A and B are shown apart, each in its own frame.
Chain A
Amino acid sequence: MRALPGLRGLRGPPSLQLPLLLLCLLAAVRRGWADGNTTGAKATGPSWGGRARLGPASPLTTLPIREEMMTKYSNLSLESHNISLTEQSSVPVEKNITLERPSRIELTCNFTASGDVNSVNVTWKKGDEQLTNYCINATGKNLYTQYMFTIINSNQMGNYSCFFEEEKKQRGTFNFRVPEVQGKNKPLVTYVGDSTVLICKCQHCSPLNWTWYSSNGSIQVPVDVHVNDKYAINGTNANETRLKIMQLSEDDKGSYWCHAVFQLGESQMHVELVVLSYLVPLKPFLGIVVEVIILVAIILFCEMYTQKKKMHTDDGKEFEQVEQLKSDDSNGVENNAPRHRKSESVSQ
């Protein structure tokens, strides 16, 4: 897999992209033609249509199709992603890419060879499938390979890997996924008769549509919004959906699933709803109330008991009464107590 001299990879300004692209394609086609039908003659997906399967990289048929595709989808946005590998990379390098809309994709892998650049074996795979139509370019010890394609529906989503084989096989993977939906991890606790709102959010994305399902067990049943005044689905932004459930009853408990529908697939999240009756916290409440009553009774009885003891043992001694009203100054009456009568003056 020799890189053609003079080609410096597709790093030029955008105006040069298309001609460079064509050159790259030409090179790829010529290489494919030279190798015959060894590897990578399979189509990469339905976008290449039946015609690409006609023969191993038949130059006359594949080139016009690619050109056609390119012009047809040239109004799609371009995503470029890059992975750098070295001989010493011990773990496979992965890059996760979230994609919402159909786009043209440009994947570049960069490899620093320790030995001879030309002896490195470069391949691309989607899942287990070999890919063709990629370019290779080398400057000094650095090897660049680039694979370009378009994603227009969910079939083209998946994992794309570039492989560099010198002594060890080094791998870089691009994982394409639809954006994830966030919901609540903890169950939502509510009471019978309340209403609640289940929220699903998607950061930095706008799904085409949101749908809600409820499930008991493994089957997901769509939520029927037309039952009168029970459910209401609305979202303030496109990246959020709210399912409002009113007049909760015990039957409403279980798992609810929100699905975010994109052009390139679906992602889902589940929210757990728990509906309790008011009796559930009432039991510990009554227990604690009983405990407080017992405590107060103990305290007051202890006090009355010590008062009675004092009354019986210290006859004629003054004692503090348990009653809460302050009585008048009646200290003239019981006067023979040896306790705390320091001075007779009442003024301060």
Chain B
Amino acid sequence: MAHRAEPPDGGWGWMVVLSAFFQSALVFGVLRSFGVFFVELVAAFEEQAARVSWIASIGIAVQQFGSPVGSALSTKYGPRPVVMAGGILAASGMLLASLATSLTHLYLSIGLLSGSGWALTFTPTMACLSRYFSRRRSLATGLALTGVGLSSFAFAPLFQWLVSHYAWRGALLLVSALSLHLVACGALLRPLSLREDPVMGGPGTQLTSLLHHGPFLRYTAALTLINTGYFIPYVHLMAHLQDLDWDPLSAAFLLSVAAISDLVGRVASGWLGDAVPGPVARLLMLWTTLTGVSLALFPVARTPTVLMALAVAYGFTSGALTPVAFSVLPELVGTGRIYCGLGLVQMVESIGGLLGAPLSGYLRDVTGNYTVSFVVAGAFLLAGSAILITLPRFCSSASTSKPRDLVTEAVDTKVSLTKEGLGED
């Protein structure tokens, strides 16, 4: 088999972008819009809201912690069979969920089965995308990740319509059919063999080599810190606005504005990441610092205009850091080890994501308002960006790194799901 020296940077790569777009939509869009089912399930099973929220939490946790498994399998067998298998798993999880007669069934079907399906799809796809592009990697990643934002807009009303016509059982059945398109997306992932591949060895060797790689570990630490702070506004912004006596409609409007600027930020940053020479880690640090600053300024803002401006700024900068975060990793570990690297980072990052929202909630309970929460979130982001300075070749103008967004995406989903959970209590 021929091994390419350089990633194709186009050609079939754009089909991979399309596949990644639909995959991020189908994995994270579904997870984010799961809140629509929340109310129905609480009524149908007559359970407490907290217990029903566990369904989504288990799904996200399995997706995040299972990422290394997906990565390892893709290293061995290539992304295509792994993603297609993941798609079948995710769809069958939803299918079984529609037949559920108790909450435990849902934990196992959606949480475990669909969660493992999602674990097998997302990470391999993003890694595959990184292998297909080098010069336009950030742009490709940014475009692919817009799938998450757009699907949240589309799926929430769609799921609501499905639930009102078919009740939650029928709606889950049809969402299962929707998730089956992951298999079609997986079919698009043509295997690509690059020059580094044979040298890299199997997944076990790659994992051990990664764990000894200093910059990789520092980068993982930085991303974990970033993740801890990143989600807090998604979870608590609505509540913070209500504390300031905003009415729910205006607050929801503000969140939509932030979501739109998030989308714009992703594409703009993707383009910028490729256009600007030098390590992409610098851009990541820029966006992370700006996000941290805008977060820390949130408590200071009182007037609606300032809050709206801050929301736009936060949305743009947080969206901007996602594709760049994906771009840094290939630069650090090389395209040969990208599958394993991505999986590992995603797993560790998720710890930050899991801790971030409850920590923020705890701070709010202790202090009575969200000021400390937002400032702490900003501090986490700034700390993460400070660690980024220690990455190699940061200060010199060497060539680019690869973006890593997997973790932030998982966090996005987790946050909006938790937000839905909180909103329904």
Taking CB atoms and an 8 Å cut-off, the chain B residues in 328-349 that contact chain A are 334, 336
Contacts of B174 in A (CB 8 A): 281, 284-285, 288
Find the A residue at minimum CB distance from B84: A296
Count of A-B residue pairs with CB < 8 Å = 110
Question: Separation in Å of the A272 CB from the closest CB of chain B?
Answer: 12
Q: A303-B190, A346-B195 are in contact. Are A190 and B167 (CB under 8 A)?
A: yes
- State whether the Cβ of A311 lies closer than 8 Å to any Cβ in chain B: no
- State whether the Cβ of A93 lies closer than 8 Å to any Cβ in chain B: no
Q: Is the Cβ of A324 less than 8 Å from the Cβ of B81?
A: yes
Most buried by B among A190, A276, A326: A326
**Which size class do B's interface residues fall under?**
35 or more
Q: Is the Cβ of A326 less than 8 Å from the Cβ of B81?
A: no
Find the A residue at minimum CB distance from B176: A285
- State whether the Cβ of A289 lies closer than 8 Å to any Cβ in chain B: yes
Among the stretches A40-48, A261-269, A336-344, the one at the interface with B is A336-344
Contacts of B44 in A (CB 8 A): 194
Q: Is the Cβ of A276 less than 8 Å from the Cβ of B3?
A: no
- State whether the Cβ of B246 lies closer than 8 Å to any Cβ in chain A: no
- State whether the Cβ of A348 lies closer than 8 Å to any Cβ in chain B: yes
Q: Is the Cβ of A346 less than 8 Å from the Cβ of B198?
A: yes
- State whether the Cβ of A313 lies closer than 8 Å to any Cβ in chain B: no
Query: Which of B77, B187, B191 makes the CB contact (< 8 A) with A299?
Result: B187
Most buried by A among B177, B178, B196: B177
Taking CB atoms and an 8 Å cut-off, the chain B residues in 1-18 that contact chain A are 1-6
Q: Is the Cβ of B1 less than 8 Å from the Cβ of A324?
A: no
Q: Is the Cβ of A337 less than 8 Å from the Cβ of B2?
A: yes
- State whether the Cβ of A80 lies closer than 8 Å to any Cβ in chain B: no
- State whether the Cβ of A320 lies closer than 8 Å to any Cβ in chain B: yes
What does DSSP make chain A's interface, helix, strand, loop or mixed?
A: loop
Q: Is the Cβ of B5 less than 8 Å from the Cβ of A342?
A: yes
Q: Is the Cβ of B77 less than 8 Å from the Cβ of A320?
A: no
Interface residue tally for chain A (C-beta within 8 Å): 42
| Bound Cα distance A324, B193 (Å) | 11
Question: Separation in Å of the B130 CB from the closest CB of chain A?
Answer: 16
Query: Which of A285, A326, A337 makes the CB contact (< 8 A) with B193?
Result: A326
Interface string of B192-218 (1 = CB under 8 A from A): 110111110000000000000000000
Q: Is the Cβ of B3 less than 8 Å from the Cβ of A299?
A: no
- State whether the Cβ of A189 lies closer than 8 Å to any Cβ in chain B: yes
- State whether the Cβ of B242 lies closer than 8 Å to any Cβ in chain A: no
Taking CB atoms and an 8 Å cut-off, the chain B residues in 359-390 that contact chain A are none
- State whether the Cβ of A300 lies closer than 8 Å to any Cβ in chain B: yes
Interface string of B157-174 (1 = CB under 8 A from A): 000000011110111011
- State whether the Cβ of A168 lies closer than 8 Å to any Cβ in chain B: no
Contacts of B199 in A (CB 8 A): 346-348
- State whether the Cβ of A229 lies closer than 8 Å to any Cβ in chain B: no
Q: Is the Cβ of B1 less than 8 Å from the Cβ of A318?
A: yes
Q: Is the Cβ of A296 less than 8 Å from the Cβ of B187?
A: yes
- State whether the Cβ of A191 lies closer than 8 Å to any Cβ in chain B: yes
Question: Separation in Å of the A92 CB from the closest CB of chain B?
Answer: 32
Contacts of B177 in A (CB 8 A): 284-285, 288-289, 292
Q: Is the Cβ of B164 less than 8 Å from the Cβ of A186?
A: yes
| Bound Cα distance A295, B164 (Å) | 29
Find the B residue at minimum CB distance from A345: B195
21 sampled A-B residue pairs with Cβ under 8 A: A191-B167, A191-B169, A194-B169, A280-B170, A285-B174, A285-B177, A292-B177, A295-B181, A296-B183, A299-B184, A318-B2, A320-B191, A320-B193, A324-B81, A326-B1, A326-B191, A326-B193, A329-B3, A346-B198, A347-B199, A348-B336
5 tightest A-B contacts by CB? A281-B170, A288-B177, A318-B2, A189-B167, A299-B187
**Residues of B in contact with A (beta carbons under 8 Å apart):** 1-6, 43-44, 46, 76-78, 80-81, 84, 164-167, 169-171, 173-174, 176-178, 180-181, 183-184, 187-188, 190-193, 195-199, 334, 336
15 further A-B contacts with Cβ under 8 Å, apart from A292-B184, A339-B2, are: A194-B44, A276-B166, A278-B169, A280-B170, A281-B170, A284-B174, A285-B173, A289-B177, A289-B180, A295-B181, A320-B1, A324-B78, A340-B2, A341-B2, A348-B199
